[in-house]
Each structure stands twice: as structure tokens, then as C-alpha cells.
Structure 1
Amino acid sequence: MMHKPVVDENERRARQEAHLLVREFGAEAPLYAAMKAEKAIEQKDFGRCARWKRVLEILADEPPADLRRSAAAK
């Protein structure tokens, strides 16, 4: 019996946001994630900024086409 890796809520939300951005904006998804991170910094919401930075990492690790495929499979 294989166990699924435990993913915390912040990671789950970051991955979900990455999928949504790719679905909506395609290749420009990282730009929108960066804008969201910048806005969070301006508002001094560093927790939200950390999540958006994680979204950027996810987008950098997985090309938009791969994210689209995995989002469509869900």
C-alpha cells in the first residue's frame, strides 16, 4: 500500500493558484503571480507574499503546458 505524501495547506493552495493562473493566463501566469507577490509586499502581508513566491517557484519548475495537463486531469 502506497502512502500519498502529506502536503500542507499552504502548499496545496500555492499549487491550486498556479493551476488557476496557468488556466487563465497561460504563459503569462508567472507575471501575474509576481504582481500578486508585489502587492502583498506593499500591503505588508508577508504570509501571502510567501505563498505567491511559492507559486512562482511552482511555475518555474513546471512548464505551463505541464501544469495545464495536470489541472485538466483533476
Structure 2
Amino acid sequence: MFDENERLARREAHWLLKEFGAEAPLYAAMKAEKAIEQKDFGRCARWKRILEILADSRTAKSVATKY
């Protein structure tokens, strides 16, 4: 079972994929960079987790299409 932060990160990643498609990781990286500039490391950690989720989903799709 996921905690609330993980659930929100997964929901945001899903929305980004739906809204931006292949550009979703770029959008998340820009948000993480902005959070770093503002020294908001909690928000940066959330965007980093969203990037990880996006990378995992991209890897899973890549593996699925090979078989």
C-alpha cells in the first residue's frame, strides 16, 4: 500500500504522461530545477520521485513492446 505522497506522485506522473506524452520527463525535470533554484528541497524530492516513476513506466513499456 502506498502512502499519500507516493499516491500523489503517481497521480501527477500519470497526468503528465496523458497531458505531455513523451515530453513529460522534460516538464518534470524543469519543475525539479525550479524547486532547487527556490531551495524548496521537499518539492524537489517530489518531482525527482515523479521522474523516477516516469522512467520506470517508460522502461516497462519498452520491455513490453519487445515481446
Pick from 44, 47, 57: which aligns with 1:49? 44
Partner Cα distance (1:20, 1:7) in 2: 18
**Which residue in the other structure is 2:24 paired with?**
29
**Which residue in the other structure is 1:38 paired with?**
33
Q: Deviations over 1:20-69 (max 9, x none)?
A: 11111001100000000001111111111000000000000002xx5xxx
Q: Secondary structure at the match of 2:2?
A: coil
Matching residue's letter, 2:41: F
Q: CA RMSD in A?
A: 1.4
Query: Identity, % of aligned pairs?
Result: 81
Deviation at 1:9, TM superposition (A): 1.0
Structure 1 runs of 4+ aligned residues shifted over 4 Å read: none
Which sections of structure 1, spanning at least 5 residues, go unmatched?
1-5, 67-74
Q: Secondary structure at the match of 1:62?
A: helix
Between Structure 1 and Structure 2, which shows a larger proportion of helix residues? 2
